[in-house]
């Protein structure tokens, strides 16, 4: 039986889930959805049934559609309500930036943050190898105000949780780096109502929890 309202399976600290939750935060035009907080080592049966690949976020819609890629969840939410015009930008540039983040930057971030997970790799330079990307982001913000143009777009929201995670590995180091525009941009997004709402704590959802 299909659910009566959208269900979002999420994990609070996951940067992919954060971007999806911020996307869902844009839909305040009467669409109510149920947030189901999970723990990664004990995924709910229903979540795995609708999305066997077992990653969060997962959005299960009342019409039976399942969206289990964070960027697609953002796009779905913006189809419902793009009130801040996050898609009004140079599409190719926005999506290229996100792609670089989700591939090259994420690879370096994981090796910097969790070197023990990669015993066969030399992770020593992972942090420093992000310099080119961080410099590019800083310059983009310096010149235009946001990552892809003057206004916040889907690129800023999709990338911000990963820069946040990177910065928090060693804040003293990060804030000593010559990226003043990126530092300000990060602070602005960290303080935004959209992000603070998306980071509200939820109890772990149990299969027998009423909606
Ligand atoms: N490409 C996916 C990646 C999602 C992803 O990898 N999420 C991680 C948590 S941050 C996950 O669920 N990993 C599965 C696990 O650790 O069991 C997306 O954009 O939604």
Q: Domains for the chain: give ranges and CATH numbers.
A: 7-84 (3.40.30.10), 91-194 (1.20.1050.10)
Distance 208 CA to ligand 1 centre (A): 24
User: What is the reported pTM?
Assistant: 0.96
> Under 8 Å CB-to-CB from 186, ≥6 apart: which residues?
160, 163, 164, 167
Q: Which atom of ligand 1 is nearest to the CA of 55?
A: 12
**φ, ψ dihedrals at 56, nearest 5°:** -105, 150
Residue 178, class by beta-carbon neighbours within 10 Å (0-12 exposed, 13-18 middle, 19+ buried)?
Answer: exposed
How far CA 38 is from CA of 21, 73, 188, 206, in Å, comes to 14, 17, 28, 8
pLDDT digits (tens, 9 = 90+) for 79-112: 988 888 999 989 999 999 999 999 999 999 999 9
For residue range 125-168, list pLDDT tens digits in order.
999 999 999 999 999 999 999 999 999 999 999 999 999 999 99
With a Cβ cut-off of 6 Å, ligand 1 is lined by 11, 14, 16, 40, 54-57, 69-71
Q: Tell me the best of 16, 17, 154 to mutate to test the pocket of ligand 1, counting ligand atoms within 8 Å of each CB and taking the most.
A: 16
C-alpha 180 – ligand 1 centre gap (Å): 30
pLDDT reported for residue 29: 53
- Residue located nearest, by CA, to atom 11 of ligand 1: 55
Q: What pLDDT does residue 32 have?
A: 85
Q: For the chain, how are helix, strand and coil distributed in percent, rounded to 5?
A: 50, 10, 40
Token pair for residue 76?
A: 């779905």
């Amino acid at each position: 039986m299909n659910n009566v309202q959208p269900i979002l399976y999420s994990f609070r600290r996951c940067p992919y889930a954060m971007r999806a939750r911020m996307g869902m935060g844009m839909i305040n035009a009467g669409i109510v959805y149920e947030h189901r907080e999970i723990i990664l080592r004990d995924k709910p049966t229903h979540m795995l049934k609708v999305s066997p690949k077992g990653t969060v976020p997962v959005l299960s819609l009342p019409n039976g559609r399942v969206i289990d890629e964070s960027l697609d969840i953002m796009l779905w939410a913006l189809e419902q309500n793009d009130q801040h015009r996050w898609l009004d930008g140079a599409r190719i540039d926005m999506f290229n930036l996100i792609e670089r983040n989700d591939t090259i930057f994420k690879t370096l971030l994981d090796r910097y943050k969790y070197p023990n997970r990669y015993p066969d790799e030399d992770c020593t330079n992972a942090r420093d190898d992000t310099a080119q990307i961080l410099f590019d982001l800083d310059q983009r913000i310096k010149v235009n105000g946001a990552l892809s143009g003057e206004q916040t777009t889907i690129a800023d929201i999709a990338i911000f949780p990963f820069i946040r995670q990177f910065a928090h590995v060693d804040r003293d180091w990060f804030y000593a780096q010559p990226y003043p525009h990126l530092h300000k941009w990060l602070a602005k997004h960290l303080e935004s109502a959209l992000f603070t709402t998306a980071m509200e704590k939820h109890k772990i959802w149990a299969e027998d929890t009423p909606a």
